[in-house]
Structure 1
C-alpha cells in the first residue's frame, strides 16, 4: 500500500515532486488567470451601460449618445467573448500539458513499484484523466472567477453602502452553504469513488479471464457479484448525490432570493432618494454576477471532490521512491554470479513470512534447479531475484553488487525471465518478443527483427510462429489471446532469450509444453550451459530437474537442502515426495 504519514498528510517530498511535475502548466494557468481578470472587468460593461442609458439617454432623449454607448457596449462584449475563448483554449492546453507531464512518471512508478496493489495500479491513469478533465471543467472556470467577486462588491458599495453590505452578507451566506455542502458530500463521494474502483477492478479481472469464467460456469455468479458491487457503489453515490442535490437546491433558492432582495433593497433606497432608479437593476446584475462563481462551484462540487481525491492519490504515488536512476554508475554487464544473503519476504497483508533466511551462492554458468511442495516459495524466490517483488530483508547480489545499486532497466536487459503464467501483451508476436523496443531507423528495425527471429529459433518457437496467420506480425489480444498455452509459453521463452541475457530465470518452464516443446527446451538448456549462461528454474519435472548442476529444495519458505544432485539424493528424507525422488542417475 502507499505509505502515508501518521497525520494522514503527504510528505513534503511528494508535494515537491507533484508541483515540479505541474510546473510546466504554470504559464498556462497564469495566462488563464489574467484573461479571467480582464473578463471580469469587462463583465461590468452591461451594468455601466444600464446606468448610462437610464441616467443620461432617457432624460435627454439622446439617441446619438445611445448609439455611441451601444457601440462601446458591443465592443466590450466582443472583447469579453474573445478573452473567454482564449481562456478556454489556454485551460484545454493546460489540461493536456498536465496529462503529458504526469502520465509518464505516474505510470512508471505504478509499473515499477512491486508493493502497489493491482487496484492502485489501475487507478493511476484514471486519476491523471480526472485531473486533466477537471482543469478544463466549468468548476475550474468558476474557481478562476471567484477571486474577482470583490470587484462587484466594491461597485455595489460605490452605488450605496447598504447594497455593498447586502452583497457581502449574501456571499458569506452562500459560502457557508457551500462549506456545509462540502462537509455533507465529501466523505460519501470518497467512499463511492473507492467502491466504484473496486467494482471496476473486479470486472476488468473477470473480463480478462472470460474463457475461464465460461468454462467454470461462473458467468452468472460473477455477474451477480458485479451487480452487488455496483449496487454498493451506486448506493453510496446516491447518498452523496441526494445530500448534494438538496443543498444545491437550497443554494439556488437562496441565490434567487438574494437577487430579489437586492431589487427590494434598491427599491427602498430609490423611494428614499438615496440612489437612482437605474441602480435597482444594476444592483441585481451585480449581485447575480458576484454570487455566480459560488453557485457554479457548488454545482460542480462532484468534479472538485473527484479531482481532489485524484490529486491526493497521485501525490502519494509520486511520494514513493523513484526507480528511475539516470545518475547511476554504468556498471559492466553481469557475468552471471548471484548471491543470496538472508533473503526474507513477508506477505503484504498479514506479514506472514513467505521466504526466510535464504542464503546461497550461485556461480556464473551454473544451472540451478529449485523444487519443493506447492506454496514453499519457489516462484516468490525467482520473482525476488528478477526484482518483480520487494525484498523485506537481505540482499540479492549480481557479481557481488546489490541489486539496488544496479540501474533497473540496464540490469533487466541481462536477465531473461519467464513467469509461471506466460504474460503476453496486446501487440504483434514480434513486439512481445523484443519487449516492445522500437528501432530508431531502418537499420535498428532490421536488428530487432533479426534478434526476434534468433530468440524464437533458440526457444523452438520459430516454426509455430511462422505457421500463424501473419507470422511474427500476428496481432495478439489483451493477455496474449490468440495463442494456446503451449504457444504462449514458447513465445514467452523467446522473449526471455531476447538480447542473449547472461542470466535466465524460468518458472515452471514445462507447465504448458508438449513433448516437442520439452525436447526443444532440453536442447536450449544444453546449448546455454555450453555458453556458460547462468540458469535458474523452478519445476516439478524430474527430467528437467535432472539437468541441473545443483538442486535447491525449499519447504515453508526455507532452504531444506542445496547441493549437488547425487548428494541430495543420498540424504533425502524417507517421506520427502519432492525433487530428490525425481533425480535420475
Structure 2
C-alpha cells in the first residue's frame, strides 16, 4: 500500500528501510483496525435484535443480555481504537529514531545545498501522516467493500444504493484531489519560502534595527506570509467545498437508506430491524471515503515530502557506504580541473581550476571580490563538492574517505568562524567525546593559535559557555577560537579563509606564528587573504579572476608578473 501511494524509486531505499522497521507497528495497527471495523457492526446487529426479537416478543431478558453484549463490544471497540492510535504514535517515534539522524547527516553531506530545516520539516510532515489520521483512514479504507457486501446481504436494493452512493463520493473525492493538489503545492512552496526568509533574518535583527530597515523588512515578511496564507486559504476553501458536498451526499444517502428500507419492510421484503441497520451499514461503508477526503491534504503533503527526501538521498547517494580504511595522509593536495556553479547562479564560481600543494608548503590565494577564492577554500576544506573535477589528498579522492574521517585531517577556518552553543573547549575540540586526551588536545590547539592566555582570562576559561552563533565573544575572539579549532588534532591540510579579517595586531602575529608552526610540522597550508601581512609567509601564490586561475607559482614570480603594466597588475594584488 505504501509502495503504491508513495512510489518506490531510486533514493527511497532509506525511507522504506525505516518503514520496514515499523512493520510490527503497522501490522498491529492493521489487526486492531480489522477488529475495530468488525465491532462497528455491533450497533447494526443490536438494532436488528431489538426490532426483530425483543419488540415482537416483549423479551426483556433478551434485551438485557443483548444490551450487555453490545456494551462489552462497544467498550472493546473504544479500547482497540485507542490502542491502534497509540501503536501508530509509537511508529512515529520509531521512525524519528531511525531516520532523523540519517536525514541530518545527509543534509550535512549535501554541502549546504539543501536546507536542513526544510528537510526536517518534510520528514515531520511524513511522520505525521504515518502516525496520524491519514494512516487510520488508509487502514479503514479496505473495509468499505466488506460493509458494501453486508448491505447487499440485507437487500440487493440497499446494496445498489450504497454502491451508487460510494461511486458518487469517490468521484467527489477524485475531483477534490485534482483541484486541491496544485493549490496545496503552491501553498507548501509559499509557506516554505516564508519560513526560510524568516529563519535567514532571525540572526540579523541587530543589523536590521541599526540600519533602520525594520519597517521595510517587516513589510517584506508580511508579503511573504500573506502569499503563503492566501495560497493555503485557497486550498482549504476548495477542499472545504468538496468536503461539504461529500457530507451532504453521505447524510442524504443515510436518509435514503432509511426511506428505502421502510419501503421494503412495507412490501414485506425486509424485517423492521433492518431499517436502522441499513442506515448504519451504509454510513459505515462510505465513512472511509469521507475520512480520506478529510485526511487528503495531510497525505498529499506527505507524498510531496517523500519526494523531497528522496531527492536529498539521491544527491547524497554515497553517504554512509563502507569505505576501505586508507593510511593517514601526509598532506599532498591535488586540485584537478574543478568547476563549481552554485544553485541559483548562472555564472560558474570556479572553472577548470588546478593546483598542487606539497606538505610544508604555504599557498596564498588572491583575487578581487567575487573571483572564487572562498569557493575554492570551501572545496579544499571538503565543505563543498565540486560539480566537475576532483580534489585528492595523498592521491585519494576526497570521496574515498568518510566525511568525518576526512575532516580529521583537515583544519578549516571560514570567513565567519561559526561557533556553536557549548563551551569553548567543546568548540575547539569539535565537540569530541569528553576525555583527558580531548582536553589536552584542545589546550595544545589553543596554545598553537596563541589564544590560550585569552581563554584563561574569560570568566570560566575553557568551560565558558557560548550562546548560539558563539554569542559571548567579540568577532576577533571568535576568529581566534576558530583558528584553534582548525588546528585541533594537527591536521595535514589547513585552509584559512580571511583568517586576519577581524583580529588585531597581536592576533595577526599569533596567526602568522601558527601558520609557520603548521608548515614546519609538514602541513599543507592554504590562506585566502586580502591583507598582505599574512601572505608574507606564503611560498606560492595563486591569483583567481572570474573563477579562473590567472597566474600561479612561486610568490616572488607571481608578484613580479602582477606588478607588470599589463592588465591584471599590481592593483589586483592589493585588492586581492
Which TM class, normalised by the smaller chain length? over 0.9
Correspondence for 1:364: 359
* SS of aligned partner of 2:570: coil
| CA-to-aligned-CA distance 1:264-309 (integer Å, 9 cap, x gap) | 1111111111111211111111111112221122222222222222
* Match runs of 1:152-551 below 5 Å: 152-439=147-434, 445-551=435-541
Correspondence for 2:10: 13
* SS of aligned partner of 1:348: coil
Question: Pairwise CA RMSD of aligned residues?
Answer: 2.0
Correspondence for 1:6: none
2:367–2:573 CA contact under 8 A, matched in 1: no
Aligned mates of 1:153, 1:326 — CA distance in 2: 50
Q: Which moved more, 1:389-398 or 1:233-242?
A: 389-398
Correspondence for 1:112: 109
Kindly report structure 1 stretches of 4+ aligned residues shifted beyond 6 Å: none
* SS of aligned partner of 1:353: coil
2:18–2:99 CA contact under 8 A, matched in 1: yes
Q: Structure 1 residue 554 and structure 2 residue 544: aligned?
A: yes
* SS of aligned partner of 1:71: helix
* 1:39 corresponds to which of 30, 36, 56: 36
Aligned mates of 1:506, 1:286 — CA distance in 2: 73
Q: Structure 1 residue 86 and structure 2 residue 74: aligned?
A: no
Aligned mates of 2:113, 2:134 — CA distance in 1: 32
Offset of residue 172 of structure 1: 1.1
* Cα distance change on mapping 1:374 and 1:136 into 2, 3 Å: same
Aligned mates of 1:206, 1:190 — CA distance in 2: 25
The gaps in structure 1 that reach 5 residues or longer are 1-8, 440-444
1:31–1:87 CA contact under 8 A, matched in 2: yes
Offset of residue 429 of structure 1: 2.0
Aligned mates of 2:520, 2:131 — CA distance in 1: 61
| CA-to-aligned-CA distance 1:511-541 (integer Å, 9 cap, x gap) | 0101111111122122222222211101112
2:113–2:343 CA contact under 8 A, matched in 1: no
Aligned mates of 1:274, 1:376 — CA distance in 2: 88
* SS of aligned partner of 1:343: strand
1:364–1:532 CA contact under 8 A, matched in 2: yes
1:543–1:582 CA contact under 8 A, matched in 2: no
Correspondence for 2:23: 26
| CA-to-aligned-CA distance 1:289-343 (integer Å, 9 cap, x gap) | 1122211222222222222221221122222333434521111111011112222
Q: Which moved more, 1:411-420 or 1:450-459?
A: 450-459
Aligned mates of 2:558, 2:301 — CA distance in 1: 59
* SS of aligned partner of 1:13: coil
Offset of residue 385 of structure 1: 1.2
1:330–1:407 CA contact under 8 A, matched in 2: no
| CA-to-aligned-CA distance 1:143-172 (integer Å, 9 cap, x gap) | 211111222222211111101111111111
2:137–2:288 CA contact under 8 A, matched in 1: yes
Offset of residue 53 of structure 1: 1.3
| CA-to-aligned-CA distance 1:441-463 (integer Å, 9 cap, x gap) | xxxx2222222222122212223
Aligned mates of 1:582, 1:167 — CA distance in 2: 80
| CA-to-aligned-CA distance 1:328-386 (integer Å, 9 cap, x gap) | 11111110111122222234334423222322221111111111111111111111112
The alignment's TM-score, normalised by the length of structure 1, stands at 0.93
Correspondence for 1:577: 570
1:195–1:232 CA contact under 8 A, matched in 2: yes
| CA-to-aligned-CA distance 1:494-522 (integer Å, 9 cap, x gap) | 11111111111100000010111111112
Offset of residue 486 of structure 1: 0.6
Offset of residue 580 of structure 1: 5.3
Offset of residue 207 of structure 1: 0.9
Aligned mates of 2:350, 2:147 — CA distance in 1: 68
* Cα distance change on mapping 1:237 and 1:325 into 2, 3 Å: closer
Correspondence for 1:50: 47
Q: Structure 1 residue 135 and structure 2 residue 125: aligned?
A: no
Aligned mates of 1:468, 1:167 — CA distance in 2: 77
